[in-house]
Chain A
């Protein structure tokens, strides 16, 4: 596996003050929303290597958004900035008064991107949605995203409404990283089979440090859950609790975490535990003490298979994934002898 392939260049761009660095700090550096007031303006480009899922490194270029910088990006720095881009994340400030001008800049960036990295993914975040009255949010967001699409040349653009003050931020970023994870299909196939074996309504895989949803599978019953934003709400809830735990055990948020969490209620049982080195697994199982314990046991067994195979396959590509058969073998074994 060559190093180039594992490092994925992610450009974070947008007008000055639109909230690029704030988002980055909350998602990747364990800031809480109100801490971002301390951040100053980004000068030129801040490079950071964000480790995601262990050995998938995101090479994040946080590009300062002041007009002077934008001009250099598009002129003298053009080749340097826009080559080898895997993902462009462009942030629009919903409160901006110069919508037309923002779109012109965006269009210029898109053109530059098309020139140097035509295969990049483009994500547009319509940010600071909390400043819009709740009843207008959906409409304004849809209008804005239609305009953005019309200026995106032939790129297929994913747009998200986001705000650092609620879970929408996690939704946007989970969508972004979802695209970056290699062999996702294999992971999902494994999880689907696994969920079926343990009768789970839902299985979610969270990245360890960011608590972003990597992927999830639901059973037919789990699909009926009326709360569609539950994944990002979970990210939000768990991350808030992680901060609380860090504060009160006198460690940094980065090193705080959960070993395991069990929750049994008359309506559902939930298990949250470390799955691989870089992920937490979150199981939702229908009530029933015995079958819950069985599911937990099976998860533990599957995990062993997971990480063993990962070590054997020389690191894998981003996600230490065993060949699915091995893992399923373990799951079946576990199913055979319940506690």
Chain B
């Protein structure tokens, strides 16, 4: 990548984003469905990848004149080669995990704007960056912070990383006490179960000991075991993002009500693009359910890609509701029910009641009611926000 701004204009992408772009291009090279794919699940995917482009162009050097944007910000920090860019690519750019091996080392802060149900930014920091040097404006980095995600490579010697994290926490804490500090103990796929638990406990112990030695008790630090090769990193990100959602408890209440009335075993409200769930009912999270729901979204998105081509001779045979709806019944009578909520979100539920098949009408109706409630929640919180959000809730209202 060249450093000159001109080069940015002509090819406004960092190297790894370039690769990711190819991936999208591959998915979009089909002539017809690209034009007017009405299925909003797909629109969403494409819309996002396109929107990501202009913001990438802006990702110049670090000190950026303070923009008016008050989007919550996720900072990805940690030592070099701990897996920050891989996490960002897998979660937000749908890169297959094994391709992250080819990611080059990040040399400047990668700012990524995610336009979804809520707009937020992901800043991927180079590991070697000394952001506490005077050259960096702390206010600029941590000012509109949502969460600081610290990535620790669990397969490596982590003492350095822990020491640095503590230094960061103590500094940041003085000025910005409101931030969430999230520690991803990463690359745990390579560790045995037992060793994994030991590492986890050791890291937690070290951090909290050192922080309390420095006089900072009960620091708001949360720990997650993550790996890009399974769903744990999505799960962890879901938790991180959920803390930034202003109306989370309202959403959870709504979902709980829905789940109780419909007999859902577990319900997730997914962001279709990243497959992060932004809310779920308050029953314990079941990894198996999450995996199936997440994969089912993939199935529907992939199938949609095959059949949403556009052609004038394709005629409708009658009226139908505008949002996508799908369900599958598995061999053991488990039913997975998916319903599109708006441009960005879909509701996926697992139902283990064999009678559910016959009550689908009721379930659908309940979900529609939930949809109305959801859009009301969102339209209110974004009244002062961007216009795009307003338009979205208008389409969803239909």
Contacts and interface: CB of A to CB of B under 8 A. Distances in A.
Interface of A: 199, 201, 221, 224-227, 230, 233-234, 237-238, 240-241, 244-245, 247-249, 251, 255-270, 272, 284-292
Interface in B329-343: 329-334
Closest 4 CB pairs of A and B: A288-B318, A288-B317, A248-B288, A263-B326
Interface string B176-192: 00000000000000000
A287 B325 CA distance: 12
B324 A264 contact: yes
A221 B64 CA distance: 53
Nearest to B308: A267
Given A241-B299, A244-B291, A267 B38 contact: yes
B327 A267 contact: no
Contacts of B309: 224-227
Contact of B302 (A237, A247, A289): A237
Nearest to A231: B306
24 contacts: A221-B311, A224-B313, A234-B306, A237-B299, A244-B295, A247-B291, A248-B289, A248-B291, A249-B288, A255-B331, A259-B331, A261-B329, A262-B325, A266-B39, A266-B320, A285-B317, A286-B314, A286-B316, A287-B316, A288-B316, A289-B320, A289-B321, A291-B317, A291-B318
Contact of A259 (B31, B324, B329): B329
Contacts of A251: 331-332
A255 B330 CA distance: 11
A256 B331 contact: yes
B306 A233 contact: yes
A259 B333 contact: yes
Nearest to A256: B331
A263 B38 contact: no
A242 B28 CA distance: 26
A252 to B, nearest CB: 11
Contact of A287 (B37, B299, B304, B317): B317
B394 to A, nearest CB: 16
Nearest to A233: B306
Nearest to B317: A288
A233 B315 CA distance: 25
A51 to B, nearest CB: 18
Q: How large is the interface on B (under 10, 10 to 19, 20 to 34, 35 or more residues)?
A: 35 or more
Contacts of B39: 265-267
A239 B168 CA distance: 46
Given A248-B291, A249-B334, A261 B314 contact: no
Given A244-B291, A267-B307, A268-B308, A258 B328 contact: yes
A290 B37 CA distance: 23
Interface string B104-123: 00000000000000000000
Contacts of A286: 314-317
A240 B298 CA distance: 10
B353 to A, nearest CB: 14
Given A241-B295, A241-B298, A257-B331, 19 more contacts: A226-B31, A227-B306, A233-B302, A241-B299, A244-B292, A245-B331, A248-B288, A249-B288, A249-B331, A263-B303, A264-B321, A264-B326, A265-B324, A270-B307, A285-B317, A287-B320, A288-B317, A288-B320, A290-B319
Contact of B325 (A199, A245, A264, A288): A264
Contacts of A248: 288-289, 291-292
A28 B388 CA distance: 49
A133 to B, nearest CB: 12
Contacts of B324: 263-266
Given A249-B332, A289-B318, A221 B313 contact: yes
B32 interface: yes
A216 B104 CA distance: 45
B45 interface: no
Nearest to B360: A262
B300 interface: yes
B360 to A, nearest CB: 9
B38 A266 contact: yes
Interface string B27-52: 00011110001111100000000000
B322 interface: yes
Contacts of B321: 264, 289
B32 A226 contact: yes
Contacts of A285: 317
A271 to B, nearest CB: 11
Given A221-B313, A249-B334, A289-B320, A268 B307 contact: yes
A266 B41 CA distance: 11
Contacts of B38: 266-267
Contacts of B328: 258, 260-262, 272
A339 to B, nearest CB: 12
A202 to B, nearest CB: 8
Contacts of B333: 259
B142 interface: no
B189 to A, nearest CB: 13
B296 interface: yes
Contact of B330 (A199, A226, A258): A258
B313 A259 contact: no
Contacts of A225: 306-307, 309
B329 A265 contact: no
A73 B300 CA distance: 47
Give the most central of A201, A262, A291, A292: most B CB within 10 Å.
Answer: A262
Given A244-B291, A249-B334, A265 B302 contact: no
Contacts of B320: 264, 266, 269, 287-289, 292
A255 B295 CA distance: 19
A291 to B, nearest CB: 4
A249 B286 CA distance: 12
Contacts of A292: 317, 320
A323 B65 CA distance: 76
B316 A261 contact: no
A293 B264 CA distance: 24
